Amino acid sequence: MVQWGMPLDPEAARKALRLYRRARFAHGLVRDHRKVRSVLEQSSAQNDAMMDAETFVDHVRKKKVHPEDIRMGVRAVVNSAPRVYRFVSRHIQKSRGQDDA
């Protein structure tokens, strides 16, 4: 334990700094891991949606549309509606903010 009123010998100071640097490094790794995992999850969801859309378009092109394909397409549209709405509303807010300035 470090006593603030007492002088700290150089070896103890080096040891404390090493521990501090390691703790910061470990914290940064955890934070970066969370960010990467979040990005990968978002990317995975987007890739799944694109693959579903590709399958749907391929079936339409080959005229092999089944009721399940229609349900899949409608579900994709309904599930993506909140994100599309959010994207459009942010775009409108940004454009209004730039016009007012």
Is 17 contained in some domain?
Answer: yes
Is 3 contained in some domain?
Answer: no
Is 73 contained in some domain?
Answer: yes
Task: Say whether pLDDT at 2 is over 70.
Answer: no
Domain encompassing residue 85: 12-100
C-alpha 22, offset from chain centre:
26
Task: Say whether pLDDT at 67 is over 90.
Answer: no
Task: Say whether pLDDT at 28 is over 80.
Answer: yes
Q: Residue 26: phi, psi to the nearest 5?
A: -65, -40
Q: Report the domain count for the chain.
A: 1
Is 5 contained in some domain?
Answer: no
pLDDT averaged over every residue in the chain: 82
Is 85 contained in some domain?
Answer: yes
Q: Are 9 and 3 in contact (CB under 8 A)?
A: no
Quick one: pLDDT at residue 76?
79
* H runs (alpha helix) in the chain: 10-61, 67-100
**Whether the model pTM is above 0.85:** no
Query: How would residue 22 be classed by pLDDT, with cut points 50, 70 and 90?
Result: very high
Is 69 contained in some domain?
Answer: yes
Is 1 contained in some domain?
Answer: no
